[in-house]
Structure 1
């Protein structure tokens, strides 16, 4: 078993980062995610939004490895999330479904306001990788955690990209609203 951890600060408020987390896929930084399906979503009695999603990804599995493993190149993971607006915390927990008899990846991401600056958001990540039943399992665990680290950097870039899109969309809406108001003002003045 190998444990990987990381912490990152986004220079954006928690609400903005959470909105971006919901819209993270698809993105140009991580084109391997090819599908995201909502299985269940509800708000519980405490006001916490709970979701279960399935993620489909294309792994870069060579043809020879896919033939040996008997799998195609699409792999699946299950993600459970909680958004607690009172505590201002979003928690995502995921586990791979494909290859789980050989390798298990349990990942957790927590988005919360930064303790020193409420206009920033702290992301803490942890992944527990377990490889069993194949030779060189310790080596494979290191390879997987290195890949997770690389993908985490891409994920943070993707979040910034989505935040940029959200900000651009908000500015576009603001400009359209201002144009509409400017066009209505001449029509609302009484004629003399």
Structure 2
């Protein structure tokens, strides 16, 4: 059974600032103590399509496996490797991130999609963030009865980490706002 969880958030910052903050979220050193579940982030590719002018980025993200302790015990590891792909279309002012785990797929599949777009009511200064997370824990025969509870616990962790990520994004947006004010943008 696949569980889908959707969250929506409004950043009271322009789209350009929010998308810049998204790229910096994992790389700013001061965020390491907040995003403790992120162990490592490496950029695999970054290119601009010459025809569409869209920016395509792929990053490898290693995270502390946020699943319930008993699932970590069964799978025998507490880290998970993920691939995050990003498409930025500056012309339409749209940014979509998709993250999927590439390890532990025998036990769990997680896909997270985040879409950033200008807010329809205030497009110049607000940005809408829609996040959808799909979780599918593949139960072992002995665990079939608790797979749903495990998915729920995993979802609770996702919600917690999402809130922490938004907090970091807000802080970076404020920093970027102050930085642009200093140089007169």
Q: Which TM-score applies when normalising by structure 2?
A: 0.85
Task: Determine the structure 2 residue equivalent to 1:7.
Answer: 8
SS of structure 1 residue aligned to 2:104: coil
- Structure 1 unpaired stretches of 5+: 175-192
How far off its partner does 1:156 sit?
Answer: 0.7
Give the corresponding residue for 1:24. 25
Aligned residue for 2:151? 141
Aligned residues: 173
Match of 2:167 among 157, 161, 166: 157
The whole-number CA distance in structure 1 between the counterparts of 2:101 and 2:23 is 19
Q: Which residue of 2 aligns with 1:184?
A: none
Q: Which moved more, 1:90-99 or 1:14-23?
A: 90-99
Aligned-residue offset at 1:169 = 3.4
1:167 and 2:172 correspond: no
Aligned to 1:41, what secondary structure does the other structure show? Answer: strand
Shift of 1:69: 2.4
Q: CA deviation at 1:127?
A: 0.5
Aligned to 2:81: 76
- Preserved contact between residue 101 and residue 111 of structure 2 (Cα < 8 Å): yes
Extract unaligned runs of 5+ from structure 2: none
Q: Which consecutive aligned stretches of 4+ in structure 1 deviate over 4 angstroms post-superposition?
A: 60-68, 171-174
TM-score, with length taken from structure 1: 0.82
CA contact (8 A) 1:29 1:157 kept: no
Q: Over the residues paired in the alignment, what is the CA RMSD in angstroms? A: 2.1
- Does the residue aligned with 1:80 lie in a helix, a strand or coil? strand
